[in-house]
Structure 1
Amino acid sequence: MPELAPNANYLFYDNISIKQEECLDSTILAHYTSLAVSKTKTKAKAKSNISNINNSNIFTKNSKFVKIPAIQRIGPHNKNILSILFGSLLGDGHAERRSKGNGTRISFYQEGSHVSYLLWLHNYLADLGYCSSKIPLIQTRLGQKGIVRKTLRFRTWTYSSFNWIQELWYINGIKKVPSNIGEFLTPLALAIWIMDDGGKVGSGFKFSTNSFSYSECLFLVKVLYENFNLKASVQSAGKENQYIIYVWKESLPLLREIVLPYVHSSMKYKLGL
């Protein structure tokens, strides 16, 4: 079991407030359960560590953070963080296992028209220390038919405690739907998936699942029904071996009810609101 980062216990108890029932990374839950037994002592020690580090080597002379090795970054991660990561990975998110080092970072990507949403997501993760607080810049790229498209991208820090996520989602470098996705598809994860890769179409709603196979889409339809009682079907995306998931008209009101508390105001149009 890797040692915690110097401020991990303090963050664990005071800022993130991870509860046992919210900790889905069961492989190291026992380690954190044992920490809770001596919570007061641990917090005092952690705060002392913070004070010592702030006076020594965590800052350079230019007040820039020294890079922390991936293996020393905190974990496990609470339910909200995992919901955001898994919801994004169902959409445009990407988990990158670093070629140098021993950790994984998560990349978030959106078209420039969704800048407000991605900046909100970046701010949320930056406030919890998961990525740089530097505001990501809007970039441009040349799209089809010579159209200039604006894009926005940012990445988390690299964590060894993200490796299991990358291993769940990727087989030989190709993103696949994990067999246990149902454990992580919470209302927040569903909302992130919608904001990343969904939209109202006709009288129903579609998820643009073009990169997933037909069997993976069928599996996601099953999970949507089991987790939320949402009725959906798999339809052709209009290209060979590409598919979308279509949520039926009768389930649209329920879908809105489930995700609306988590949807950013700039993305409510995706629900037809």
Structure 2
Amino acid sequence: CLNKPQMYYLYLICLSLLLITPVYFNYQFKVNRLKGIYRIGPHNKDIISIIFGSLLGEGQGEKRFLGVGTRFNFYQKASHVNYLMFLHKFFSELGYCNSKLPVITTRLGSKGKIKKVAKFSTWTYSSFNWIYDLWYNKKIKHVPEYIDQYLTPLALAIWIMDDGVKVGKSLKFCTNSFSYNDCLLLIKALNNNFNIKASIQSTGNKDQYLIYIWKESMTDLIKIVSPYIIPEMKYKLN
């Protein structure tokens, strides 16, 4: 049997639960609808690495709502949907995007060709603006001058899965949208960060280039990125 002080203490606990619970649910309701300007991070290293790795490939940044926030858009062709689902799972489990799974849709490609793609976007964050400002000048994507500071093993693995192409016993990156100077920054970062040797080659089109990883650097490259490569993308590493 409880004495009076114990009963009073129990009463206070029950009263507190009754008062706090509605406030808690209301708080959750509001957090899900925060404006981008109030989403300020901070963001962990893996989030930054995946964003930077994706921006080296197909990923795109988008500054929205009069510049108060930035979101990132990810898309892949239908044959690489497992990779996109991997990215979506990572971001959604950390609360960076809608948990609804991406669906495969069609879009009109070059020369009227129909393409099947899947895509998703992060929520808008004001604390993503610095990344957008590093990568974009007048809405055109460029490689940041200090890319070596952000090219981690995870970022490199994402870049490979996003935009790497197997070439015999080696690998190339389809850096067509980047300038020659951008490509120079990238091969310098590969060498400085990982001792990976690479060269720039012309695609045959004016001002379009690709980065070719030297065959003798493939063993080192595989050791560095293998822990992060999903099974469906391991074919790119032979």
* TM-score tier (shorter): 0.7 to 0.9
Structure 2: which 5+ runs fail to align? Answer: 1-19
* CA–CA separation in structure 2 for the residues paired with 1:219 and 1:213: 10
The one of 172, 175, 180 aligned to 1:214 = 180
- 1:176-187 equivalence runs, <5 A: 176-187=142-153
Structure 1: which 5+ runs fail to align? Answer: 1-49
Q: CA RMSD in A?
A: 1.8
User: What's the counterpart of residue 10 of structure 2?
Assistant: none
Equivalent pair of 1:221/1:245 in contact (CA under 8 Å): yes
User: What's the counterpart of residue 56 of structure 1?
Assistant: 26
User: What's the counterpart of residue 62 of structure 2?
Assistant: 96
Offset at residue 207 of structure 1 (A): 0.5
Cα distance change on mapping 1:114 and 1:225 into 2, 3 Å:
same
The secondary structure found in structure 2 opposite 1:212 is coil
- 1:240-251 equivalence runs, <5 A: 240-251=206-217
- Alignment deviations for residues 180-223 of structure 1 (CA, whole Å, 9 cap, x no partner): 11111000000000011002112321000000001110111011
Offset at residue 99 of structure 1 (A): 3.6
Normalising by structure 1, we get a TM-score of 0.76
The secondary structure found in structure 2 opposite 1:59 is helix
Offset at residue 111 of structure 1 (A): 0.6
Tell me if 1:70 matches 2:36: yes
User: What's the counterpart of residue 227 of structure 1?
Assistant: 193
Equivalent pair of 2:106/2:115 in contact (CA under 8 Å): yes
- What is the number of residues matched between the two proteins? 219
Q: Identify the range of structure 1 (142-151 vs 245-254) with the bigger mean alpha-carbon deviation.
A: 142-151
- 1:109-188 equivalence runs, <5 A: 109-144=75-110, 146-188=112-154
Whichever of the two has the greater Rg, that structure is 2
- Alignment deviations for residues 85-127 of structure 1 (CA, whole Å, 9 cap, x no partner): 0000111111100044610001111111000110111011100
Cα distance change on mapping 1:157 and 1:209 into 2, 3 Å:
same
Matched residues, percent identical? 58
* CA–CA separation in structure 1 for the residues paired with 2:161 and 2:229: 7
Cα distance change on mapping 1:143 and 1:183 into 2, 3 Å:
same
Offset at residue 58 of structure 1 (A): 3.5
Equivalent pair of 1:130/1:157 in contact (CA under 8 Å): yes
* CA–CA separation in structure 1 for the residues paired with 2:209 and 2:67: 36
Q: Identify the range of structure 1 (80-89 vs 201-210) with the bigger mean alpha-carbon deviation.
A: 201-210
